[in-house]
Amino acid sequence: MRKIIIISIVLLTPLGVFGNEVTIQPGPEIGQDTYGAQVYPDENYGDLEWMSAGITVFSFLRFTQLDEYIGYEITSATLRIWVFMASDGTRYFYRVLGPWDEDTLTWNNQPSHSSTEYVYYHFPEVDFASDFNIDVTWMVQEWLNGDWDNFGWCIRDYGFLISFATSNSTDPGARPSLILEGPDLPEVGVQPTSLGKIKSLFTPQLEYSGGGGRIGRPAPHRSWMMGLRG
């Protein structure tokens, strides 16, 4: 009698590790977001629950966990921020060109940023807390391709101030988040298997354009103390 032996190969990959959407939303321990203000050029604001951007106030935002996805292809990347106050106008999210840290950044030591590599977003007037989704797909893909070092964004407003929550917020849902969509993306903090990474590397490259529209939602009113600490 001929015996047929069937050999099964099982990939040791936990169920539920891979999916189409991943949300990166760091808390105070690893979040990197702060701002520098010209009026107080040596002051650091890395411990605040909010930050602002204006003509002489530049905000900086970086998701360090994004480095876990280098080599992966995405179909979209959405930056979500919780805005407390804004005038009607366009804000720019520029690629930062050098390293920085939220505990030491000031106006005087801030890194430079690109003037040509950015996305922009037109915010309506905001006088109650609302979240806004900004399409940053093409910039994030450049980081994941390894074409750029991930130093994050410098956020600028050429009109009045815009203020939004940081990763230090006591409301976890208000902290900045980066939502990635794409095939074979592992959950944040999960070591990807070589199969998933190899498959993603052979996915055809796509080109993306910046911009985007408001996908915000109304939120309960929050009182917020605005101003600069000197």
pLDDT tens across the length of the chain (230 residues)? 444 433 332 333 333 344 589 999 999 999 999 999 999 999 999 999 999 999 999 999 999 999 999 999 999 999 999 999 999 999 999 999 999 999 999 999 999 999 999 999 999 999 888 999 999 999 999 999 999 999 999 999 988 889 999 999 999 999 999 999 999 898 876 544 333 343 333 333 333 333 433 333 333 233 333 445 55
Amino acid letter for position 133: N
List helix spans (H) across the chain.
Answer: 137-145, 194-201
The single-letter DSSP state of residue 40 is B
Q: How far is CA 2 from CA 8, 101, 190, in A?
A: 19, 68, 44
Residue with tokens 């080109």: 207
Per-residue model confidence as pLDDT tens digits over 179-224 = 999 998 988 765 443 333 433 333 333 333 334 333 333 332 333 3
Q: CB–CB of 121/91 below 8 Å?
A: yes
The answer for 85, left when phi > 0, alpha when psi is -120 to 50, beta otherwise, is beta
Instruction: Note if the pTM is more than 0.85.
Output: no
Q: Would you state the pLDDT for residue 206?
A: 31
Q: How far is CA 77 from CA 112, 155, 165, 176, in A?
A: 24, 17, 19, 13
Cite the beta strand spans of 54-100 per DSSP E.
57-62, 76-86, 89-96
